[in-house]
């Protein structure tokens, strides 16, 4: 029942994803959510984010930020990153996931998506046919509408973990 919302992968942090390995596997483009995926909500790009995008460029990845935020927020974050971006993306609509791939010159087979929310980020990437990686939110402080969705996410992730562990109740 909840399978349609299950991420392809679920990891603790964007910053532990083995991007070099993913590049070797044939991925060439990475689409990122910003808030609580790369930095806490509303924060500018920090040193860790800047280093990540330098690393991705060195590896050979194209990248694009895709955010439901307005342009001012996305532009502020991107000031030190200098990558492609799409603001007011209306995730989980697939339109801007597809647009991001067009911008990067990639396709569904060689693009991956990284985000912290199941019902916007992951669901949109799954519907667009993109390999997706769910990460744990960086910071607990979130807008009220996201807090409410997190309760539903906990339920979906409970069943996701059960399936991954072979049906037992282990976490």
| Tokens found for residue 97 | 């996931």
- Rounded Cα gap, residues 37 and 138, in angstroms: 6
Is 140's pLDDT higher than 80?
no
Give the ranges where 25-143 is alpha helix by DSSP (H): 47-59, 71-78, 95-104, 123-128
Residues 6+ apart with CB under 8 A from 67: 33, 34, 35, 73, 74, 85, 86, 87, 88, 89
- Rounded Cα gap, residues 43 and 31, in angstroms: 19
- Burial code of 119-132, b = ≥16 C-beta within 10 A, e = fewer? bbbbbbbbebebbb
Is 170's pLDDT higher than 80?
no
- DSSP strand pairing (9-11 vs 84-86): unpaired
> Average pLDDT in the 10-26 region?
97
Of the pLDDT bands very low, low, confident and very high (cuts 50, 70, 90), residue 164 is confident
Of the pLDDT bands very low, low, confident and very high (cuts 50, 70, 90), residue 160 is confident
pLDDT of residue 171: 41
Is 144's pLDDT higher than 70?
no
pLDDT of residue 9: 96
Q: Pick from 15, 36, 7: which is nearest to 134 by CA?
A: 7
pLDDT of residue 149: 73
Q: Pick from 45, 85, 38: which is nearest to 66 by CA?
A: 85
Of the pLDDT bands very low, low, confident and very high (cuts 50, 70, 90), residue 2 is confident
Q: Per residue in 55-92, pLDDT tens?
A: 999 999 999 999 999 999 999 999 999 999 999 999 99
Q: What is the mean pLDDT of the chain?
A: 91
């Amino acid at each position: 029942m909840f399978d349609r919302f299950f991420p392809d992968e679920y990891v603790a942090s964007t910053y532990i994803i083995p991007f070099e390995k993913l590049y070797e596997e044939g991925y060439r483009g990475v689409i990122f959510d910003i808030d609580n995926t790369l930095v806490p909500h509303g924060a500018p790009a920090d040193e860790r984010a800047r280093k990540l995008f330098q690393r991705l460029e060195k590896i050979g990845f194209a990248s694009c930020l895709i955010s439901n935020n307005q342009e001012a927020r996305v532009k502020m974050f991107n000031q030190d990153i200098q990558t492609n971006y799409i603001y007011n993306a209306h995730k989980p609509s697939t339109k801007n996931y597809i647009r991001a791939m067009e911008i990067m010159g990639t396709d569904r087979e060689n693009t991956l998506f990284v985000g912290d929310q199941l019902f916007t980020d992951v669901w949109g990437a799954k519907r667009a046919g993109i390999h997706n990686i769910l990460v744990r939110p960086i910071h607990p402080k979130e807008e009220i509408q996201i807090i409410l969705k997190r309760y539903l996410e906990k339920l979906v992730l409970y069943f996701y973990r059960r399936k991954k562990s072979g049906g037992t109740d282990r976490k």
